[in-house]
A and B are shown apart, each in its own frame.
Chain A
Amino acid sequence: MAIDFSKETESGSSSGTPGTSGKGIFSPSIITGAVAGGIGYLFGHWMGNAIAGGYPQVIGSGQNDVAICLGYAFAVVGWFAGLGALNYPIKKMLGYEPDFSEPELKPGWTKYFQYTQDHKIVGIQYLFGMLVYFFTAGLLALAIRTELLSPTHHIWGPSTYLEIVGEHGTMMMMMMTSVVLGPFGNFMIPLMIGSKKVAFPRLEAASFWFTPISYVILLSALWQGGFQSGWTSYAPLSIQQGVGQDAYIFGFGLQGLSMVCASTNIVATIINYRAPGMTWNRLNIMGWSMLSLGFTMILSVPVLIDGLYVLTLDRTAQTSMLYGPHGGSSFLWENLFWFFGHPEVYLLAIPGFGMVAEIIPVFARKPIFGYKTSAAGMIGLAVLSFFVWQHHLFQSGMNPDMRPLFMLTTELISIPTGFIYLVGMGTLWKARIRLTVPMLFMLGVYFNFLFGGLTGVYVSDVPINVTVHGSFFVMAHFHYTIMGGVIFAFFGAIYYYTPLVTGFQLNQKWGKIHFWSMMISFNSTFLPLFAVGLLGQPRRVFEYAQRLQTLNDWVSISSYVLGLSLTFFVVTFLWQLVVTRTPAVRNPWGSRSLEWHVDSYPPPQHNFKTVPVVMAGPYEYADLDALPMADIVVENADKDVVRTGGKA
């Protein structure tokens, strides 16, 4: 179910079965998970000290990475055991049949803190989880901008500054991989394809529950000395770092496992659980984007895990794979990291594009222009994303003959990207656009991505890359593509789907205030950074030339306005969900897509009363003779207010 603050009236099972609420403090929940995770950490730490406490390098440095790593590993096991996630795998070892039933959920809010098989609850858990990630990393960004207010007067030391930069970058990049897939992919995809179930609900749940412990571990780096190696953590600096680097390794690694679990489920669900009549030609563009995303994650994330594992071994088992004088090479890390890292950029962009293409036809009241081109563009992006990673190493001393090849592949990727962009423009062309808040955010994506995408073409060229490498120009480029793209799509999707997810309508006026303040302050923050970069200011350095102070101050003040805009969103969003609670009307945007044609908002636990039979595509808005998308049974179809519970 979705967000439901109503008083609990039914007693839950005491069996502790995941997905139900049990009685007593020992029933699986986030509390038992945290306690078991803490015990696991202490046990692992003790074991690590017992194993490696006598090693000369541990005695000499006073730093036992083995103890820290084992502590984290056992903390994860304890966390999942405490959540009740291991009950089912143990039952399977005893030969019990797979349990396909979904336990009935009781009303109330406790289910949002449990390991549950309901894809809609997982979606909401992800939504709030990702917002926590985003705002934590956002606060760190403000700390960076505060330091850069002056080129000479410092708030943080250089080391602390690098800790903050590294923590901000890593947290944002980890969060962005799941910011659309997690909340909207998990919640919407089964509804969009007309399914009552997902393929692997326990994997889906596990994918979310990796994220809180990943967040805690990563954040803990701040009071363990941080990791000055930044989010890319190049060797050999990352080998020489303190234990904060171990937090980076485990935080990022756990997020990788989360991505693997989520993508496995979403791919298998889309392929196997589509309703009768839901042919590939009728699949929502969002579905295509999730499919492309899923395959890209499956084939790239294990390489990241390899890289992190290699780094861990160099730090703990004293291997020398990243250390040249003993037969290794620091470039091994760079290659393993970027083989994941560059597809990752498209892991962020593809779902953002999917979300935009999903929403704009609704407000343009036109079929999506070039449906197949859009789907092909996403697949093309996913495939080509594996062939560009070396453009991050143009300055590394790589074989110069390889540069043109990777320059070419990087430029080639602008073709499928252009497909997707032009599909959007074609859809908007001569449309009677309704400028609602979600639509404004989607238009904002196109505006911002124009800057990010075009500068990307320049940056891919070796001569310019050599000039601007490591400068604020590159930083502005990727903030335009990622924050200007996927984060704007994320917020647009929140405004678009909140009526469905919560049963409450968000205020359009407040939403427009949020949009315009965010749009203006975002551009005011990042557009000058292109100039700052071209004028020579490097990233990750806390001092800069005096002549750049005016621009930097402008950027910092703009970033505070951006922070205020996002704070305004948080306050108004929570206010409307908890206090004003304006009931949503049925299908408020007039969408054809299946997810809106459910009995109530939030959708009932099993989504549909009967399995829908799909008869037409989701975007046939201009065709007056078009069949409804599905033959579907909807209760209370003639009533406006459909929310069950709350003030409705």
Chain B
Amino acid sequence: MSEITEDRPVVDEVQLYHEAALGSHWWGARIAIGLVMTLFGGIAFAYFYLRSLNSHGLWDPHGQTASTLMGSLILTLVLLSAILNAYGNFRLKKGSTIDWQVANITALLAGLFAAGFQIWELSRLNFFPGAFGYAGVYVAFAPVYSGVIILSMYWLETLIARSLRNARALASDGGVGLSSSMMAENFRSNLEGFSYYWAFMAIVSVVFFVLFYVL
């Protein structure tokens, strides 16, 4: 193994690791989905387990839930954020970086408001955390949910900040949405990963809305 053979294929190292980084974004996003799926899966298990056991008839004896109005508002904001993110991506593929930035800054604000409202709701519950089974599971869900939203918004914020910082440099090449530069490709693969993940979180939000406010 000490010498290069004459017919050794030429390896473009920069391109190789660039493509590996793009693949890592793809896999990183899917792994993140796996992680939040099992994280929320554990909470969903707790919900169904305690609900089906109904120990001492104390799962939810009085049919109390957290504020449905607030829950609806939070869900609406998360869905709005995911839709705006998807719309922004659509515009980015058309070459409109500005549209993407406006849509995603709005998506970021919607996500942050959703997390803020979730925390606010937690501080104004009409039941005590240990009053009954539902109460405990809801108190467990709310901080995790708002924490995951905040972390997701951190991810989106880094993308927005990157697009703003590089806007001028990539403007002559079609902008970050169309440029063939490695920097732009890296950005787009990161964004694609985020969007996929955030769409999954929107589904999670719908599922838990049904669990905590509808059923």
Interface residues, chain A, CB within 8 Å of chain B?
89, 92-98, 100, 195-197, 199-200, 260, 264, 267-269, 271-273, 276, 298-303, 305-307, 309-310, 313-314, 317-321, 323-329, 331-332, 335-336, 339, 597, 610-611, 613, 628-634, 637-638
Contacts and interface: CB of A to CB of B under 8 A. Distances in A.
Interface in B18-55: 19-21, 23-24, 27-28, 31, 34-36, 38-39, 41-43, 45-46, 49-50, 53-55
Contact of B134 (A276, A300, A309, A327): A327
B58 A93 contact: no
Given A200-B28, A272-B21, A326-B133, 6 more contacts: A303-B41, A310-B46, A326-B132, A613-B11, A634-B2, A638-B2
Contact of B38 (A97, A300, A325, A632): A300
B166 A306 contact: no
Interface of B: 1-5, 8-9, 11, 13, 16-17, 19-21, 23-24, 27-28, 31, 34-36, 38-39, 41-43, 45-46, 49-50, 53-56, 58-60, 128-137, 139-140, 144, 154, 157-158, 160-166, 183, 186
10 contacts: A199-B20, A272-B20, A302-B35, A302-B36, A303-B39, A305-B42, A324-B55, A327-B50, A328-B50, A329-B55
B1 A95 contact: no
B11 A611 contact: yes
Given A268-B31, A272-B24, A305-B39, A633 B132 contact: no
Tell me which of B34, B154, B166 has the highest count of chain A C-beta atoms within 10 A of its own C-beta.
B34
A319 B42 contact: no
B144 to A, nearest CB: 7
A100 B139 contact: no
Contacts of B131: 320, 326-327
A306 B43 contact: yes
Contacts of B31: 264, 267-268, 298
B17 A313 contact: no
A320 B46 contact: no
A271 B34 contact: no
A326 B60 CA distance: 10
A310 B11 contact: no
Contacts of B3: 633
A637 B5 CA distance: 15
Given A324-B56, A633-B4, A95 B134 contact: no
B7 to A, nearest CB: 9
Contacts of B162: 92, 95-97
Tell me which of A89, A320, A631 has the highest count of chain B C-beta atoms within 10 A of its own C-beta.
A320
Contacts of B36: 302
A318 B140 CA distance: 11
Nearest to A587: B1
Contacts of B163: 95
Contact of A306 (B19, B39, B128): B39
A314 B135 CA distance: 12
Contacts of B56: 324-327
A632 B11 CA distance: 12
Closest 6 CB pairs of A and B: A306-B42, A327-B58, A95-B161, A327-B133, A95-B165, A637-B2
Nearest to B54: A327
A319 to B, nearest CB: 4
Contacts of B135: 319-320, 327
B38 A303 contact: yes
Nearest to A270: B27
A317 B186 contact: no
A195 B24 CA distance: 14
Contacts of A298: 31, 34-35, 38
A310 B136 CA distance: 9
B91 to A, nearest CB: 20
B139 A319 contact: yes
A310 B165 CA distance: 42
Contacts of A271: 23, 27
A328 B133 contact: yes
A524 B122 CA distance: 57
B144 A328 contact: no
Which secondary structure dominates where chain B touches chain A? helix
Contacts of A200: 24, 28
Contacts of A331: 49
A336 B139 CA distance: 17
Contact of B136 (A269, A319, A610, A631): A319
A298 B136 CA distance: 26
Contacts of A89: 154
Nearest to B157: A93
A273 B53 CA distance: 48
Contacts of B183: 97
Tell me which of B24, B34, B139 has the highest count of chain A C-beta atoms within 10 A of its own C-beta.
B24
A319 B130 contact: yes
A299 B140 contact: no
Given A97-B183, A273-B20, A299 B50 contact: no
A613 B13 CA distance: 11
A97 to B, nearest CB: 6
Contacts of A98: 21, 186
Given A197-B20, A321-B50, A325-B56, A335 B161 contact: no
A199 B24 contact: yes
Tell me which of A319, A325, A327 has the highest count of chain B C-beta atoms within 10 A of its own C-beta.
A327
A127 to B, nearest CB: 25
A307 B166 contact: no
Contacts of A196: 13, 17
Contacts of A597: 1
B16 A276 contact: yes
B17 A100 contact: yes
A317 B137 CA distance: 12
B23 A272 contact: yes
Contacts of B20: 195, 197, 199, 272-273
A317 B81 CA distance: 31
Contacts of A339: 42, 45
Contact of A199 (B5, B16, B28, B161): B28
A336 B45 contact: yes
Contacts of A260: 35
B11 A610 contact: yes
Contact of B133 (A96, A317, A321, A628): A321
B1 A634 contact: yes
A314 B128 CA distance: 12
Nearest to A298: B34
B202 to A, nearest CB: 19
B133 A320 contact: yes
Contacts of A93: 154, 157-158, 161
A160 B99 CA distance: 65
Tell me which of B11, B31, B49, B163 has the highest count of chain A C-beta atoms within 10 A of its own C-beta.
B31
B161 to A, nearest CB: 3
B139 A317 contact: yes
Contacts of A329: 49-50, 53, 55
A302 B133 contact: no
Contacts of A268: 23-24, 27-28, 31
B129 A318 contact: yes
Nearest to A303: B42
